[in-house]
Amino acid sequence: MRVIITGAGGFIGRLLVEQLQRAGTLRGSPIQKLILLDFKLHGFAADSRLRLHEGDITDATLLRRTLADGADVVFHLAGLLESAAEKQYAQGRKINLMASLELLDQLRNREKPPIVVFASSVSVYGPDLPARVDEHVALKPHTSYGAHKLMIETHLIDLTRRNELDGRSLRFPELVARPGASNDFAGSCVSNLIRAVTESSRYVCPLSPSAKAWCMSARRCVENLVHAAELVTSEALRCWQLPVLQVTVGEVFEALIEEFGEARRSLISFEVGAEPEGSPIRSSLLRAPTAKALGFMHDGTVQLLIRNALNLPSRPRRTRANHS
């Protein structure tokens, strides 16, 4: 089993590498090579299965070198984050769209189509959503990032139809607790809130406690990525909205105070009304029955979201949140 991970040096990529190293197998077969691609790769535990390819994913020659030995499963996680991609259109297009198209083109194989698990995003939905969002809602992205994600989803569906790849796209919500998150998009504020309370640092949250976000812990995200790669399905349309936990900022804050103590409450203040660009997506209730039926999962409760995000042992809690 040869596994490739693009964006392996990133927030989710590192956790996925660690998970696969621990498991040692994927789809019932031993992992013989774990091939990592990112601009910088450092700090990984010594492992004879690792093959490191450092460089720019937009370099087609680097991609050919990385894929030279072939692949059975590819996790395509590399990308420029939404806020940066919106501010730097040319760079976002180059990384999120053109490099992804080149990667998929180089992976095409009719004799043995590799499984490609693509990290897409809820940004494909856009603003002005109905009160209840399900897996059949119209897709109307309003950022370049969301548009590029949708383009790659569509291309992957077509290559799967042609039996050249075995594509599986997962639409991720905000993943917490992302380090160094900006305040440009609503869900990122949840990551910043978690980090601030955990590290006992001051933070002015640009959202009211009643503001809502769609969230998933990094740990649960990795579990869903592995599940997507191992899933046996005959569905032609292999693009799934992951189940999400819909939480309010206030629920997250109170759960953090319960976890870390009242002394940290005074570190956080809320600047009501200064809401970031990504705010329209928060208020809708998202349901993903198809993905749930296939075994994809959210974190369950706001307390488990926090504990999973911080890699703490799980324990029973009382507070509940709306979730799909």
Q: Is 145 a catalytic residue?
A: yes
Residue 275 vs residue 111, higher pLDDT: 111
> What is the residue type of 64?
R
Most confident region among 74-78, 82-86, 109-113, 310-314 by mean pLDDT: 74-78
Q: Are 10 and 76 in contact (CB under 8 A)?
A: no
Listed in sequence order, the residues at least 6 apart from 323 whose beta carbon sits closer than 8 Å to its beta carbon are 243, 244, 245, 246, 298, 300
Res. 3 pLDDT band, cuts 50 70 90: very high
* SS3 labels along the chain: CEEEEECCCCHHHHHHHHHHHHHCEECCEECCEEEEEECCCCCCCCCCCEEEEECCCCCHHHHHHHCCCCCCEEEECCCCCHHHHHHCHHHHHHHHHHHHHHHHHHHCCCCCCCEEEEEEEHHHCCCCCCCEECCCCCCCCCCHHHHHHHHHHHHHHHHHHCCCCEEEEEEECEEECCCCCCCCCHHHHHHHHHHHHHCCCCEEECCCCCCEEEEEEHHHHHHHHHHHHHCCCCCCCCEEECCCEEEEHHHHHHHHHHHHCHHHHHHEEECCCCCCCCHHHCCCEECCHHHHHCCCCCCCCHHHHHHHHCCCCCCCCCCCCCEC
Q: Is the pLDDT of residue 280 over 50?
A: no
Q: Specify the pLDDT at position 308.
A: 95
Q: What is the average pLDDT across 108-114?
A: 93
Residue 235 vs residue 189, higher pLDDT: 189
Q: Specify the pLDDT at position 4.
A: 98
Q: Is the pLDDT of residue 59 over 70?
A: yes
Q: Is the pLDDT of residue 29 over 90?
A: yes
Average pLDDT, the chain: 91
Q: Is the pLDDT of residue 36 over 60?
A: yes
Q: Is the pLDDT of residue 315 over 90?
A: no
Calculate the dihedral angle through the C-alpha atoms of 190, 289, 122, 80, rounding to the nearest 10 degrees: 90
Q: Specify the pLDDT at position 108.
A: 96
| Residue 310 φ then ψ, to 5° | -100, 5
CA distance 302 to 316: 11
Q: Is the pLDDT of residue 319 over 80?
A: no
pTM, full prediction: 0.92
Res. 279 pLDDT band, cuts 50 70 90: very low
Q: Is the pLDDT of residue 223 over 70?
A: yes
Which of 43-47, 116-120, 248-252, 275-279 is the least confident region?
Answer: 275-279
Strand 132-133 and strand 166-172: the pairing is unpaired
Q: Are 79 and 121 in contact (CB under 8 A)?
A: no
